[in-house]
Amino acid sequence: MNPSSLTRLDDFTWRIEPSGRMRVPGVLYANEALVGAMDDKVREQLVNVASLPGIVQAAYVMPDAHWGYGFPIGGVAAFDADRGGVVSAGGVGFDISCGVRCLHTGLKRDDLPSLQSRLADELYRHIPAGVGSRGRIHLDEAGMEAMLAGGAEWAVAPGWGRPADLERIEERGRMTDPRPEAVSDKAKRRQRDEMGTLGSGNHYLEVQEVETLHDRATAEAFGLAEGDVVVFIHCGSRGLGHQVGTEFLRAMTLAAPEHGLELPDRELACAPIRSELGQTYLGAMRAAINCALANRQILTQLTREVFAELCPSADLRLLFDVSHNTCKVEEHVIDGQPRRLYVHRKGATRAFGPGHPDLPDAYREVGQPVLIGGSMGTASHVLAGNRQAGIQAFASACHGAGRAMSRRRALKSWQGRQLIDELRGRGILVRSPSSKGVAEEAPGAYKDVDAVVDAAEAAGLARRVAWLLPRVCIKG
DNA sequence: ATGTCC
């Protein structure tokens, strides 16, 4: 995208002025190089989102944005139901409530040399990873309903975790107002054996070291110190979320004419919030959020089992769990007036600032932990939400490095085995069922996560707290 | 992202 085609507000904020069908401007948070590297498709998609009914303030993209199905990945848009606002399945994405959680381990850098290779082998053996992986839980109809209604709470009750974990999860581990009955039988069938599995694509479980602290006071509130060993888990709602997304995209596309919606792009499927279909989607999506929260909760407990076996002194406590593919009802102050908005974040992380009532007590003074997963073999970041001077993407930040290259092109450019050897040479142990998957996820196929996070911080979206480097990566 | 095409 040519930066000179945008209005430059400052070095990290760019605007597409409203024209044609746009109801609000488009705003990009990125430096000039990141804007320049973005596909023109991102601009086109941002313009389309800005044209949807009931959109409030602006359509936003984060510095890691790239083009996606309908909405850009790295996009944020909020809609007002009172003003004809819509909910969009494409604005959430296929992997509903895909997200990241970070666990303390109680271990330090010096504990790793004797453990690293056994951790890699045992985590890989114990945690189902890859396309179509199945777990040790098999849900019957009643179990499925309870899981979709209960989220991480459902998982913790029989022992997949600790009650204290729930305080450290967005929505306290359970999305309210789910409608399990709005999830199709087919979606439920796909999920029957997939709880507690990592999946494939960009999903992973990593053991990492805290390399550098940027904000000592906030790091202390988060319980992070230099040299700490932590675990990052990145995954979502597996087959169920994908099936829900697929079915509602189709239904919303078909129903657009009867809702009086003229879609700027066929892929931009949406429905009025105040419609039967809009409400059914919201209920099904919230159930899928609970599926993702339960899934990450079970994976947490599986990780604890491995650490308990290899290193009984380890104590895996949850730092936080964030989702980056959601639509949530939140109150935001617009022109001095509080309004209830349906905030879509697709490849974007919620980043509530200090004092927000929804934050756990331990983090209320410093702001929400914002967990940014890098690409395989590169850094991850912990950030914190800022107190908002105004409305900046409705308290949102980036979610990761963001792809810079298609999977197809990555496959032509790298070989999985060779990447794994190279990473081993740099002290990073990768275990994966698919060397093709590893090639698709080559670090070089992603943007520079450090540059993305620098831009997010400079744009005022969140502030850097800690920089982490991987030592073990279980790759789906 | 995804039983990588019902």
Nearest to A155 by CA among A168, A141, A165, A167: A165
Q: Is residue A312 within 8 Å of residue A129, measured between CB atoms?
A: no
Say how far A242 CA is from B1 C1', in Å.
7
Residue type, A349: T
Annotation: binding site of A: 95, 202-206, 234, 324-325, 373-376, 380, 399-402, 475
Say how far A23 CA is from B3 C1', in Å.
41
For residue A386, how many C-alpha atoms fall within 13 Å in the half-sphere facing its CB?
A: 18
User: pLDDT tens digits for A416-429?
Assistant: 999 999 999 999 99
Active-site residue flag, A138 = no
Gyration radius of chain A over CA positions: 21
Q: Is strand B within 7 Å of residue A242 (CB)?
A: yes
- Chain A residues 244-273 with Cβ under 7 Å of strand B are none
Q: Is strand B within 7 Å of residue A328 (CB)?
A: no
Q: Is residue A370 within 8 Å of residue A385, measured between CB atoms?
A: yes
- The set of residues, in sequence order, having a beta carbon less than 8 Å from that of A375 and lying 6+ positions away, is A202, A400, A401, A441, A442, A443, A445, A446, A449
- Residue ranges of chain A whose pLDDT lies below 70: 389-390
Nearest residue by alpha-carbon distance to C1' of B4: A131
Say how far A115 CA is from B4 C1', in Å.
35
Q: Is strand B within 7 Å of residue A43 (CB)?
A: no
Q: Is strand B within 7 Å of residue A238 (CB)?
A: yes
Alpha-carbon span A272 to A401, nearest angstrom: 32
Shortest-distance nucleotide from A234 CA to C1': B1
Say how far A309 CA is from B5 C1', in Å.
43
Strands A429-431 and A462-475 come out as parallel
Q: Is strand B within 7 Å of residue A98 (CB)?
A: yes
Alpha-carbon span A123 to A303, nearest angstrom: 7
pLDDT at A389: 67
Kindly state the percentage of chain A with pLDDT values over 70.
100
Shortest-distance nucleotide from A400 CA to C1': B1
- The set of residues, in sequence order, having a beta carbon less than 8 Å from that of A309 and lying 6+ positions away, is A122
DSSP codes of every residue in A251-267 = HHHHHTGGGT---SSTT
Say how far A137 CA is from B4 C1', in Å.
24
Strand B bases within 7 angstroms of protein beta carbons: 1-4
pLDDT at A388: 79
Identify the three-state secondary structure at position A147: helix
Q: Is strand B within 7 Å of residue A66 (CB)?
A: no
Domains in chain A, please, with CATH? 3-475 (3.90.1860.10)
- Choosing from A104, A242, A344, A399, the catalytic residue is A399
- Chain A residues 182-221 with Cβ under 7 Å of strand B are 186, 189-190, 194, 199-203
Say how far A187 CA is from B1 C1', in Å.
15
User: pLDDT tens digits for A40-61?
Assistant: 999 999 999 999 999 999 999 9
Q: Is strand B within 7 Å of residue A95 (CB)?
A: yes
Shortest-distance nucleotide from A186 CA to C1': B3
User: pLDDT tens digits for A110-167?
Assistant: 999 999 999 999 999 999 999 999 999 999 999 999 999 999 999 999 999 999 999 9
Q: Is residue A397 within 8 Å of residue A60, measured between CB atoms?
A: no
Shortest-distance nucleotide from A69 CA to C1': B1
Say how far A21 CA is from B3 C1', in Å.
40
Q: How many CB atoms sit inside 10 A of residue A129's CB?
A: 24
Alpha-carbon span A375 to A377, nearest angstrom: 6
